[in-house]
Amino acid sequence: MSTPTKPSIVFCHGIWADGSCFDKVIPTVQAEGHQVIASQYGLDTLAGDVATVKRTLGRVSSPAILVGHSYGGSVMTAAGTDDRVAGLVYIAALAPDADETSQRQQEKSRTCNASWRSVWAPPPMRSRAATSPCSPTRAS
């Protein structure tokens, strides 16, 4: 009987980074017995970035798990339809629907956050300080 192999891991970086942002994580995951690579795409177009991730899948054993952060979530969501992909892991990443762009998802998030702020406001500093277990006691 053959020993089951662990899935490969392909990291997908965000828009303000490159593949090197995973440098500190890769050795730890490799030590667990996974084949690991960080995809390095040019951030020119989503289609181009997805194509790069699919080419990167060809450099590791299948099945592979795509792990993405930020914009990398959009890239791996589109690349995740590849037969070599066994799963997707989102780390503070965008996860757009099939008919949704990254920008539209961020706009919805900003709208949701703005409406939440209009419903809830923190108490005034004076009362927060008086009730906070972390604030120092003041002598009168």
In the chain, what are the domains? 1-21+30-92 (3.40.50.1820)
Instruction: Give CA–CA dist 132/116, Å, rounded.
Output: 23
A 10 A CB-CB count for 79 gives 28
pTM over the 0.75 mark: no
Segment 36-92, tens digit of pLDDT:
999 999 999 999 999 999 999 999 999 999 999 999 999 999 999 999 999 999 999
Segment 79-127, tens digit of pLDDT:
999 999 999 999 998 887 777 776 776 676 666 555 544 444 555 555 4
The radius of gyration of the chain from alpha carbons, rounded to an integer in Å, stands at 21
DSSP secondary structure letter of residue 41: -
Instruction: Give CA–CA dist 73/12, Å, rounded.
Output: 7
